[in-house]
Chains A and B, each alone.
Chain A
Amino acid sequence: DAMVIQNPRYQVTQFGKPVTLSCSQTLNHNVMYWYQQKSSQAPKLLFHYYDKDFNNEADTPDNFQSRRPNTSFCFLDIRSPGLGDAAMYLCATSRVGGSYNEQFFGPGTRLTVL
């Protein structure tokens, strides 16, 4: 089945230790998104890629970076995680111009910062 896959599902890192979260998709969608969702809050868009074109949200901290080496994969790099970065990180994809602009979400990676 076509889907959005995130690895790992759970990630524990130490304060200040760089961490990379992974997302892959078999949907061949041209847009990939990274959201941060803190406990009991709405998912908040960090950035997205439209093909190779990177688009950062204005309030996304510099600590968060992303890479998209090809259509299928997108990575979220947190250069120096702080305690406030503990959250669920959701990857999503969509096809611009597709029917009702649906975004397909992966299961998320829950990040714990010690």
Chain B
Amino acid sequence: GEDVEQSLFLSVREGDSSVINCTYTDSSSTYLYWYKQEPGAGLQLLTYIFSNMDMKQDQRLTVLLNKKDKHLSLRIADTQTGDSAIYFCAEIFSGGYNKLIFGAGTRLAVHP
């Protein structure tokens, strides 16, 4: 079935790295995404990874994909207070028009 799971909460100190983990179910998903949602706002695409890649780096963001275990992670280097938000992992559902299946979101809290 369709299910994306994430841990619900992560607290880190400013300047440290954050790692947010996600597991997904649809092995035929072509893309996997990380979206960021700030309070009272919509979802903003942070980064994505194509399913034939193992890793993607984009400035402070590193995405790792383990297709065998259906595990996706997002690492944020040098985490800042502005990174405090909810981070959603999402997979494309292969049976529909770009239908996204989201996890419940990980709330990242950055403290001094």
Answer whether A and B are interacting partners.
yes
Q: Quick one: which of A40, A41, A45, A106 contacts B99, CB cutoff 8 A? A: A45
User: In the complex, which residues of chain A have a beta carbon less than 8 angstroms from the beta carbon of B8?
Assistant: 40
Q: Given A42-B4, A42-B105, A107-B42, A102–B100 Cβ distance below 8 Å?
A: no
Which of B12-20, B43-51, B60-68, B75-83 lines the interface with chain A? B43-51
User: In which size bucket is the chain A interface?
Assistant: 20 to 34
Q: Given A100-B50, A102-B45, A31–B31 Cβ distance below 8 Å?
A: no
> What distance in Å separates the Cβ of A87 from its nearest Cβ neighbour in chain B?
14
Per-position contact with B for A39-57: 1 when CB-CB < 8 Å, else 0? 0111111001010000100
User: In the complex, which residues of chain A have a beta carbon less than 8 angstroms from the beta carbon of B98?
Assistant: 31, 94, 96, 101, 103
> What distance in Å separates the Cβ of A78 from its nearest Cβ neighbour in chain B?
19
Q: Given A42-B4, A43-B88, A101-B30, A108–B96 Cβ distance below 8 Å?
A: no
Q: Quick one: which of B4, B97, B105 contacts A50, CB cutoff 8 A? A: B97
| Most chain B beta-carbon contacts within 10 A, residue among A44, A94, A96, A100 | A100
Cross-chain pairs A/B with CB under 8 angstroms, 26 sampled: A31-B98, A40-B8, A40-B104, A41-B104, A42-B4, A42-B88, A42-B102, A42-B103, A42-B104, A43-B102, A48-B96, A48-B99, A55-B96, A55-B97, A90-B43, A96-B97, A96-B98, A100-B48, A101-B31, A101-B92, A101-B98, A102-B33, A103-B100, A104-B45, A106-B42, A108-B42
